[in-house]
Every structure is written in C-alpha cells, then in structure tokens.
Structure 1
C-alpha cells in the first residue's frame, strides 16, 4: 500500500509530496512473536578467547538454545555439538558460548538456533544457522 506524505522545505514555501510504502513486517509462521522477526543468527570467523566464541547476533521468536556444531569436513553441519547456551525470546548480541572440546584451527563451526524441544527453527526446509571458522 502506498501513502503520501507532505514535507515542508524550510528554505522556502515549497512543499514536497512523496509516496512511501507501508510494509507488514511479520507475515508467516513467526508473526506476533518476539519483536515480530523470524529467527536469525550472525556469526563471524574468529579466534576463540578463553575457550569461548562470540556470536554477533541472534533473534529467537521464543525461548530456545543457540547451539554450536562442528562441520563434517565436507561442507555440511556435523552431528557433534561443541557448545550451547539457553536464550530467552528476543534480540541478543555478542553471545559468549563455551566450546568443549575445543575445535582445531580451521574447523568450520555452525551456530544453530534451536526450539525448546531441541529441533532447529526452520523456514520451510531450511534451518536458521550460520557457519564460521575457528582461526
């Protein structure tokens, strides 16, 4: 839906009318949930500090877990969980996750957002995860 807004230009008596879009931010399975945004996670390649990695950003529509899995060496997420932290619903930044055992340098890790039942949050067939490397 487009609407118009009128803005007064301070330098003179001119007015400007510009259309702008009204967008529904929360359509789909996560409408009406924490901050009305779907699950999302951002992770950067990094050198662990004190056995921890720092996940840049995570948003969960409900209480859940941020889990870290090792890669399988073939470009896919493996089954070995090396860390996890429980999170409340909502927006989280710079989340510290303790790793055990500590992966070797160059190992690809996957940050995965899981529901309270332990299954990954999914959008159709794709889970909400992000890969990064241990430097």
Structure 2
C-alpha cells in the first residue's frame, strides 16, 4: 500500500514541476522607454489599499522628459504640460498605447462640423418598414 502512495506522490511532484516550469517559461513582456515616449504611471496610493477597487491603477498619459542612471524618470503631463515634482521609478510605468478608435475626430476646417462616417448612414427604407415586418404595413406602403 505504501508503494502506491509513494508512486502517487512522485507523480504529483513531477506534474507540479512541469507546471512550474511551464509558468516560468512564458515570455514576459518587456519594453524599453526613452525620452519623449508617452507613458502611464502606476497610481501607488491604490497599492495595498482595501478601498477604491474601481479606481484605475494607471494614470496619465505623461511624456518622459529625462531618465537618470538610477532608472528614475522625470515626467510631464500631456494634458496640462505640468512637470511632476517627484521623479518616478522606471518599474512604475508602462507605455501608453492609444487606439485610433479613441482619438478625437478631427473637425472639418471649412465649416467646423464633424464629418459623418459612411458606416453610420441608415439604409433608405421607409421608417414603418424598419419598425415592423408585417405584411399589412408593407401593403399599405405599396398603395401610397
């Protein structure tokens, strides 16, 4: 009976070793930041805090204006242009990647209106045909 137990323990150990090695073998995303890059800064007041679970972990965007030998970074707000007083550790930042979907639509310079997207155009069907699909409404439309 003890041989069966020892066998199962060895199977569990090898399975756990394999799973550990598999987790460690995953590639960790790394990035290299340089002066002029747009970054997000980790909001350190949320670390270890019980409340504020819905608050964002990252704030910004900021622009890097200086990196020193200790890997601390001087940041400038992209919204206000204000330079932060304290330098920020390199590991408390991540690149700010902005999707083209989130960028503001550019206004038409000629008449200051937003150009509508062709995808928003509704098909030229009568409104009653779109609301219901009953044969009575279709026959009434054909008579008009």
TM-score (norm 1): 0.26
Query: Larger strand proportion, structure 1 or 2?
Result: 1
TM-score (norm 2): 0.25
Larger Rg computed on CA atoms: 2
Query: Larger helix proportion, structure 1 or 2?
Result: 2
